[in-house]
Amino acid sequence: MRARQPRAASGRGRNAEYYPLSTRSRFTAMMVRIPNVLTQAQVQACRQALETAPWIEGKLTAGSLTAPRKNNMQVPANHPIARRLSEMIMEALKKNAMFMRAALPVRLIPPLFNRYTPGEYYGPHVDATVQQVWGVNDRVRTDLSATLFLSAPEEYDGGELTITDDLGERPIKLPAGDLVLYPATSIHHVSPVTRGARIASFFWVQSMVRDDNLRGLLFELGTALAQFEEAVPGNPAITKLTGVYFNLFRLWTDTN
């Protein structure tokens, strides 16, 4: 007895309904949570230093398109406190295997610092495409945006970093010391804070793999390989798969 063939669907739309061959036209943001980028002692050191830092209106550093939506405070990028803390965070990032695997950074904007107190927010926007590194003749293409939380969730209400994609709005509020990486191409906002203060560090990464989908595949493969090596150390298949990882990386990389 022959299996019943699916009835041929008429029209493109119908086909698409039965056979969703491609999801690439849909946008689902790959977000990666990286826990404990900073130790609690480092978080406290940042918080104490930031108490003595000057804060200026965040609007001053926004482009003309986003400035009207931006209502928060920032430490000037060239202030010695910002620069010292920035260095500390960059050192921590370099040592963080999960960050390196997820971001595959070629360069990054030194981390900056922002604060939202009651009534402050950042309306929906897409981050600027290219950012200038302060004091250096260097530009960074913003492939990935990053937020490193410095306030604990119980210290404030509201203030969720909310990323919008085809699955809807995804609000994010992480423990102090944790970081979220998300595509800079996404529309996102920070909800109004209604109590306390939300203090965070933020920065952008230019990745060696520009395409979010390809970078996501490498991250999945690299993560699975690390788990595989832990479960079955020295298995020869790991060497072959590591070769596949590196050869795909070589194919897709752009180190400029």
- Chain contacts with Ni ion (rule: CB under 5 A): 127
CB of 125 to Ni ion, least distance (A): 6
Q: Which residue has the tokens 């000057």?
A: 54
CB of 184 to Ni ion, least distance (A): 8
Q: How far apart are CA 109 and CA 181, in angstroms?
A: 14
Using the minimum distance from each CB to Ni ion, give the nearer residue, 30 or 218. 30
CB of 18 to Ni ion, least distance (A): 38
CB of 256 to Ni ion, least distance (A): 25
Task: Count CA atoms within 13 Å of residue 248 on its CB side.
Answer: 16
Using the minimum distance from each CB to Ni ion, give the nearer residue, 120 or 127. 127
Hey, how many other C-beta atoms are within 10 angstroms of the C-beta on 204?
22
CA-to-CA dists, residue 176 to 74, 98, 115, angstroms: 18, 17, 14
Using the minimum distance from each CB to Ni ion, give the nearer residue, 49 or 128. 128
Hey, how many other C-beta atoms are within 10 angstroms of the C-beta on 150?
25
Using the minimum distance from each CB to Ni ion, give the nearer residue, 190 or 218. 190
CB of 127 to Ni ion, least distance (A): 4
Using the minimum distance from each CB to Ni ion, give the nearer residue, 143 or 218. 143
Which residue minimizes CB distance to Ni ion? 127
CA-to-CA dists, residue 105 to 208, 215, 239, angstroms: 6, 11, 24
